[in-house]
Structure 1
Amino acid sequence: MADLDYILADWDKAEGVATSEGFIKPLIATKNVSVTALEIAPGDEVLPHSHSGLPYFEVVLYVVEGDLEIIFRDKRVPVKTGMTIMADPNEHGWLNRTEETVKVLMIHSPPPSWQSPEEFLEKVRKYQDRK
């Protein structure tokens, strides 16, 4: 971002990829923070998991649309539209019990292992190809 005054991203136009955590669209990534759109389909569940092999990063989840249940070990926390929750990246999962797709804005600081949306998509696709 050395020569830019700002970065502008459009959720609806951003390229994304289907993952085990939902449909992810990286919007903005720098060396200090990343902002990612996450769309979680009805009935989708991600069990609490670890991001082993990645450097530590913090995660803030903001629910843009819908109701989501965040899972922390044996606890379940309801998070509704307009709510924000800070989550340990190695201790959380989620469940969409509704009939609607839930839209969540994920903010990572620092970014787990990418510094641009293109780099994120490339890493996810390489990982999926290895499976």
Structure 2
Amino acid sequence: MAGPLVSYWNTMRRRGGQARREQERRRCRAQKTARRVAEYLRHTYGAARVVLSRPVAGEEVPLGPQSDIDLAVRGLDKDDYFEAVARVQDEAAPFQVDLVRLEQCPASLRDVVRREGREI
């Protein structure tokens, strides 16, 4: 009886390790993509500040297959916003990007960005 149980626990540990490694690879790819998109927004649209929010910015929140990249930007002209959103989706594929202008978002969201975000 101990043999099958030991085999089961060994398999579960191995799968857990694989899942953690995949999670870290996905987070690294998302962070690299976010930095590339931030540079694109600065260069193409003159964004003055780009902030990466959770879950990609932090290590403590699991990053699932459907997780997106949350970016808050300052200095993106409101007339360029929709074009920038469309172009950023192309730049970030296969990740989806949620892009908000700090000048237009509610104060509660600005507080979250200030508290939990990381400038990139």
- TM-score normalised to the size of structure 2? 0.29
- TM-score normalised to the size of structure 1? 0.27
Higher fraction of strand = 1
Bigger Rg over Cα: 2
